[in-house]
Amino acid sequence: MADGRSPPARSRDGLGHAARKSWRGALTSYRDRRIVSIFFLGLSAGLPLALTGNTLGIWLAREEIDKTTVGLFSIVALSYAIKFLWAPVIDRVGFPLLTRFLGQRRGWTVATQLALMAAIVAMALTDPVENLGLMAIFAVLVAFCSASQDVVIDAYRVELLEEEKIGTGASTYVFGYRIGVLVSTTGALNLVGGVGWSTVYLIMAALVSIGLVTILLSREPEHVVGEESAARERRVRDYLAHRPELSGRRAAILSWLYDAVISPFVDFMTRPQWLVILLFIVFYKLGDSMAGVMTGYFLVELGFGDAEIGNIGKTVGLIATLLGFVIGGWLMAKLGMLWALWICGGVQMLSNLIFAVQASVGYDTGMLAIAFAVENLAGGMGTAAFVAYLSGLCNLAYTATQFALLSAVASLGRTFLAAPAGWLADMVEWVPFFLITTVAALPGLAFLLWITIAHQRAERIRSLSSNEIS
């Protein structure tokens, strides 16, 4: 239902310059209780990703599952790529009972988190050697529940905050997400030697309850439909009212489908360079994703133990991720989104070379600490800038569906396109493998160059128009 308020205008290419804040002003935003809640929701959302990715890859490697199969396991994350298909349902349809008592966003968040916990428990109780197919099925269920949780939490965090705090919320969410990933990788690896893989996964399932408690203690946000969206709904209803053959229940269904499913896509595709933007989103993190698929297997082959990987990652990785988060935020504040994407993308690409150095050196814990520091620093920078860019692309009238679409498109790189990484690692040695993953990042930067040129051209035109008016 529309309430007469319109969502704030967003730049059409996501590169608009937000108002710059002082360091004091930026830090004050993080004292908001809602921002703290978003951090814990991000932590809960980050936990499942590694449980079907890098951590699962190490588990399978320990069970001597072949590399090609481990690489193909990245396909279980298909739900992240297609979550936009059911995002309109989460956006517009209430979950039985839970929505009635908790509200649309909180109800769906509780439902997805409970289902996620159950699916992780199922993975914990499955032996991958005896039931590899069953493990794959449960991994798919974890990915599905996790992707659905992402849809509703993304909508929740955007609707919960005022426009000027959307960026702060996105950055905090990224940081919490990264902490969640670290917990389910380095934390899990530190525990596995003492308690075993099944118990580790049971512990990870229990940790999802952090998000559950957070959402239960938080309030339901107010959902705002802008005047433009409300007017579009009225036009569709008026059109259907003049078509007797489409009246009644059929008209209601068609009206819902247009507003919930079609309008978000139509809105995005009216933007200049929309196809190039989508290609950039797909390829921006391709090189990083290809390397990430096989990093765990790579370290196991070099002879590193689970505790070594976990301890170094827990200390160095956490510090580097925090630093990357801070640097990424500073770059966006001081240089704008465009230059932040360039710098973070370049650092992200070059960080793969550190693993080529690690492969040349071999087993060396000092070198591993450096590699983890570089990789996590680059990952924190790149992810912070990328999520902020995706948030900036969204029309706030369709935030849930559009963000789901954009993040799903982004996941194509780490699912289908990164899936052959295991096959590639079987074909070549580790040094050339990481060199190839570095080169794989170049298409993303090429599309960013295209977007940059188009953006600068549009800025020149707007500047000339402003001067003529003056």
* Mean pLDDT value of segment 36-54: 90
52 is a domain residue? yes
Exposure of 431 by Cβ count < 10 A (0-12 exposed, 13-18 middle, 19+ buried)?
Answer: middle
Give the whole-number percent of the chain exceeding pLDDT 70. 83
Q: What is the pLDDT of residue 163?
A: 60
Does the pLDDT at position 375 exceed 80? yes
Terminal Cα distance for the chain, rounded: 40
Q: What is the pLDDT of residue 8?
A: 46
435/285 Cα distance (integer angstroms): 15
Q: Which of 17-31, 200-214, 264-278 has the lowest mean pLDDT?
A: 17-31
Contact predicate 309/299, CB 8 Å? yes
244 is a domain residue? no
* CATH assignment at residue 420: 1.20.1250.20
436 is a domain residue? yes
pLDDT in tens, 126-137: 988 888 889 889
377/321 Cα distance (integer angstroms): 5
The total number of structural domains in the chain stands at: 1
pLDDT in tens, 390-409: 877 877 677 778 888 888 78
355 is a domain residue? yes
381 is a domain residue? yes
pLDDT in tens, 225-248: 556 656 666 666 666 666 666 666
432 is a domain residue? yes
Residue 204, domain extent: 28-219+255-463
225 is a domain residue? no
Which residues fall within 8 angstroms of residue 171, CB to CB, at 6 or more apart? 325, 328, 329, 384, 387, 388
pLDDT in tens, 73-84: 778 878 887 888
SS3 2: strand
Does the pLDDT at position 29 exceed 60? yes
94 is a domain residue? yes
